[in-house]
Amino acid sequence: MGLLRPMAADMKAGENMKKLLARSGVYKLTGDTPLEWELAAYDAGFSLLEEALSRTEAGIFADTAPQEWLDEWETRYFPQPVQADLTTRREMLKERLLPRKGPVTLSDMPGLLLAAGIRGTAAEEEGRVVITPIEYLAPKAQAERVLGQLMPLHVAWSIAGAQ
C-alpha cells in the first residue's frame, strides 16, 4: 500500500496528518516533540473548520437541517412563522426548493400547495383549478400570496369559498 491513502470518513485531519507522518518513517513521533506540538496546533484549527463544515453540511438539506437552519430557510419564503410540526416544515421546504419543469398538472398540486403552506386538494372545474384548503400551515393571506407566486401565470385558479 502506498503512503497516501484516502482519509477515513470519521478520522479528523490532525489525526490523519500524524498517521501519514508516522507511516513515512522519517519522523519519530514519541508524543512530546516539537513536530507534534505543531500538529496539535494544526489539529485545533482544523477541528474548528471540520465542525463548521459538518454544521453547514447538515443545514443545507431540508431532511437534516437543525431547527435554526429551518427557521432561516423559512424566513426567505415566509415573512411570518409557519405553524407546523418539524416533519411538515421539512416537507414544505423540500417542495418549495424543488425545481419544477414542464407543465403543472393536477398531480403536481399537492406539492405546490404544501410549498405555499396549504394542505388541501385541487380539482379542475370549468377550465380553472379550484383549491379546497383543509389546513393553513402559514397565515392564510401569506399562504395564498405564496401560492400565487408559485402557480403558473397561464393557469386560472381560485380558492373554494373565497370572495
Task: Give the residue extent of every domain in the chain.
Answer: 13-59, 84-159
Q: Which residues contact 63 (CB under 8 A, 6 or more apart)?
A: 90, 94
39-96 pLDDT per residue, tens: 999 999 989 998 888 888 888 888 888 888 888 888 888 878 888 898 999 999 999 8
Residue range 10-35: mean pLDDT, rounded: 85
pLDDT given for residue 7 in this prediction: 57
| Higher local confidence (pLDDT), 79 or 135 | 135
Q: Quote the mean pLDDT of the chain.
A: 87
| pLDDT higher than 90, residue 18 | no
Q: Place 1 in a pLDDT band, splitting at 50, 70 and 90.
A: very low
162 grid coordinates: 373565497
| pLDDT higher than 70, residue 9 | no
Query: For residues 16, 18, 22 and 26, what is the CA-based torsion angle, rounded to 10 degrees?
Result: 120
> 115 with 128: CB under 8 angstroms?
no
Lowest mean pLDDT among 33-37, 42-46, 100-104, 133-137: 100-104
Lowest mean pLDDT among 2-11, 17-26, 87-96: 2-11
Q: Place 10 in a pLDDT band, splitting at 50, 70 and 90.
A: low
> 92 with 118: CB under 8 angstroms?
no
> 57 with 49: CB under 8 angstroms?
no
Query: Apex CA 55: angle with CA 54 and CA 61, to 5°?
Result: 95
Distance CA 118, CA 133 (A): 6
For the chain, give the percent of residues with pLDDT over 70. Answer: 93
